[in-house]
Amino acid sequence: MTDETETPRPDTVDLAAELEASGVREVLDELDRELIGLAPVKQRIRETAALLLVDKARRDLGLQVETPTLHMSFTGNPGTGKTTVARMMAGLLHRLGYVRKGHLVSVTRDDLVGQYIGHTAPKTKEVLKKAMGGVLFIDEAYYLYKPDNERDYGQEAIEILLQVMENNRDDLVVIMAGYADRMDRFFSANPGFRSRIAHHIDFPDYSDGELLHIAETMLEAQNYRLDEGARQAMVEYVALRRSQPHFANARSIRNALDRARLRQANRLFNEAKGPIDAAALSTITEPDIRTSRVFRGGLDVDRLNRKEAAE
Q: How far is CA 237 from CA 1, 207, 262, in A?
A: 81, 13, 17
- Number of residues that this document lists for the chain: 311
For position 116, what pLDDT does the model report? 83
- Identify the burial level of 179 via C-beta atoms within 10 angstroms of its C-beta, where 0-12 means exposed, 13-18 middle and 19 or more buried: middle
Domain with CATH 3.40.50.300 in the chain: 68-203
Q: How far is CA 56 from CA 21, 66, 230, in A?
A: 12, 11, 51
Query: Average pLDDT of each block of 10 consecutive residues along the chain (311 residues)?
Result: 63 87 88 91 92 89 87 96 94 90 96 90 96 97 85 90 93 96 94 91 96 96 97 96 89 96 95 90 97 75 51 49
For position 3, what pLDDT does the model report? 53
One CATH from 3.30.300.30, 3.90.105.10, 3.40.50.300, 3.40.50.1820 for 68-203: 3.40.50.300
pTM for this prediction: 0.85
- For residue 41, how many C-alpha atoms fall within 13 Å in the half-sphere facing its CB? 25
Task: Please tell me the CATH code under which domain 208-310 is placed.
Answer: 1.10.8.60
- In sign, the C-alpha dihedral spanning 104, 109, 115, 117 is positive
- Distance (Å, rounded) from C-alpha 88 to C-alpha 96? 13
136 secondary structure, DSSP code? E
CA nearest neighbour of 57 among 8, 99, 96, 102: 96
- Distance (Å, rounded) from C-alpha 195 to C-alpha 187? 9
Domain with CATH 1.10.8.60 in the chain: 208-310
Which runs of E-coded beta strand occur in the chain? 72-76, 104-107, 135-139, 173-178, 199-203, 225-226, 283-284
- Distance (Å, rounded) from C-alpha 242 to C-alpha 259? 17
